[in-house]
Structure 1
Amino acid sequence: MPALPLIVFDVNETLLDLQTMEPTFERLFGGKVDIRLWFANLVMYSLALTAARAYVPFTDIGAAVMEMLANTQGIKLESADIREFKDRFSTMPPYPEVPGALRKLRDAGFRLFTLTNNLVEVQTRQLEQGGIVGLFERCFSVDSVKVFKPSPQTYAYVEKELGVRPSQLCMIACHTWDTLGAVAAGWEAALIRRPGNDILGVGPQPQIVGNDLMDVADQLIARHKGRGLS
């Protein structure tokens, strides 16, 4: 009987609530820039740097994008503002259903991991602050390969480290670019419809789509019912 897939989670916005940063963003930008525009630009420029074969840590790109957006609006950010924003980013709480859903998956026999664009130390702080770090066997960072998701190298790195085939892995994320990359790499994938995120009607599609992590967990358990650990 085939084993359960190893589940690999994206972290930012998939597990942790990006919207909790909105009050800080509102204070700094006075409503002139939406936090989702900042995050979309952060992802876009991480991909642009990867395409240009240049690597900069994710939080540093995030700070640079903040300053760029502030400059477009004639807003001057102080160094203390950037430090506050980085601190808030590394202490975002998990969505309410996340701890219970992770435990449900683990109790069902699934092994849990993470793969994030963040540095290891940033995601470790995030997961520790959220009280969920102990639910994961290992946390992976794209910093080890110096390219950002959804580059194929990021998924291949996890495969090599865990010593498994692509078909033995499942990515859970709320970003279509992440599930697209995982499915293209031969992984199973599940997409969470977090606010502002949904499926893209072209390209490789996730096998599971859910409204929150508990919904996805229930679907995964049903999908792989009868499988056991080997």
Structure 2
Amino acid sequence: MSYAAYVFDAYGTLFDVHAAVRRHAAAVGPDGQLLSEIWRAKQLEYSWTRSLMGQWRDFWALTEEALDHAFARVPSADKSLRAELLDAYFKLDCYPEVPAVLKTLKATGARVAILSNGSTEMLASAVKNAALDSVIDDVFSVDALQTFKTDPSVYDMVTTAYRLYPDAVSFQSSNRWDVAGATKFGFRTIWINRTQMPDEYLDLSPSLILPDLNDVI
């Protein structure tokens, strides 16, 4: 079945969130993976906490704060690399299959879009760095709402902009919590389970689980 729009989460789905630390792995030191994992976990935790308390800070500010926390937790990591790591995060690599998959979807005539917690500037930089400008129709950032996923209003940005019912949208995310929110909203959902994590939110199951984006269509 084809869909009127294929909408993708950005971080972890199209763009490799661990690429920044990996790019500077030798300089960061032996605990680089731990640093990267804490950085990502805190980035997400801060977004959820801020949403619940109604205290907005954009995703870039949270990304900076999360990195500072990760450095505090991993004293072996070289803190002098802060600026380099943030620059690398601003220009994250996309996963290898992404350009071809998006190009194929674009050729079907469907809309291809990003729906992300990322700030407008972060997303523009990532899309440009990965040379995805020609295959992405729209980039929806939560900056417009000043709240984060899984607030239903975030998913509604797509249906309102495209004047579609939710079931006309196929939504892809590597984040299981994001898939749960999109499923509850009414999207057809695909969980891109890149790291073979166990399923959760069993009452909000995705339509499909894939190891990468290759079989999205």
Give the TM-score normalised by structure 1: 0.84
Question: 1:199 is matched by which residue type in structure 2?
Answer: D
Aligned to 1:228: none
In structure 2, runs of 5+ residues without a counterpart are none
Kept in 2, the 8 Å contact 1:14–1:192? The answer is: yes
Aligned to 2:50: 49
Q: Percent identity?
A: 22
Aligned to 2:70: 69
User: Over the residues paired in the alignment, what is the CA RMSD in angstroms?
Assistant: 2.3
State the secondary structure of the residue aligned to 1:101.
helix
Deviation at 1:190, TM superposition (A): 0.7
The one-character-per-residue Cα deviations of 1:70-120 (angstroms, maximum 9, x if unpaired) are: 223456975x63322221112112111111111122223322011111111
State the secondary structure of the residue aligned to 2:206.
coil
Matched positions, count: 215
Aligned to 1:99: 99
Task: Go from structure 1 to structure 2 and tell me whether the alpha carbon gap of 1:163 and 1:136 turns closer, same or farther (over 3 Å shift).
Answer: same
State the secondary structure of the residue aligned to 2:70.
helix
State the secondary structure of the residue aligned to 1:96.
coil
Kept in 2, the 8 Å contact 1:7–1:112? The answer is: yes
Question: 2:209 is matched by which residue type in structure 1?
Answer: V
| Counterpart Cα distance in 1 of 2:42 and 2:196 | 14
The one-character-per-residue Cα deviations of 1:14-67 (angstroms, maximum 9, x if unpaired) are: 011223223336634651734122211211111011001111111211111121
Task: Go from structure 1 to structure 2 and tell me whether the alpha carbon gap of 1:76 and 1:197 turns closer, same or farther (over 3 Å shift).
Answer: closer
Deviation at 1:8, TM superposition (A): 0.9
Kept in 1, the 8 Å contact 2:35–2:77? The answer is: no
| Counterpart Cα distance in 2 of 1:71 and 1:134 | 40
Give the TM-score normalised by structure 2: 0.89
In structure 1, runs of 5+ residues without a counterpart are 221-230
Kept in 2, the 8 Å contact 1:16–1:95? The answer is: yes
Aligned to 2:86: 86
Aligned to 1:199: 199
State the secondary structure of the residue aligned to 1:82.
helix
Which segment is superposed worse, 53-62 or 67-76?
Answer: 67-76
Aligned to 1:21: 20
Task: Go from structure 1 to structure 2 and tell me whether the alpha carbon gap of 1:26 and 1:205 turns closer, same or farther (over 3 Å shift).
Answer: farther
Task: Go from structure 1 to structure 2 and tell me whether the alpha carbon gap of 1:102 and 1:73 turns closer, same or farther (over 3 Å shift).
Answer: closer
Aligned to 2:179: 179
Aligned to 2:40: 39
Correspondence list, 1:205-224, <5 A:
205-216=205-216, 220=217
Task: Go from structure 1 to structure 2 and tell me whether the alpha carbon gap of 1:120 and 1:198 turns closer, same or farther (over 3 Å shift).
Answer: farther
Determine if the alignment matches structure 1 residue 6 to structure 2 residue 5: yes
| Counterpart Cα distance in 1 of 2:9 and 2:54 | 23
Kept in 2, the 8 Å contact 1:8–1:172? The answer is: yes
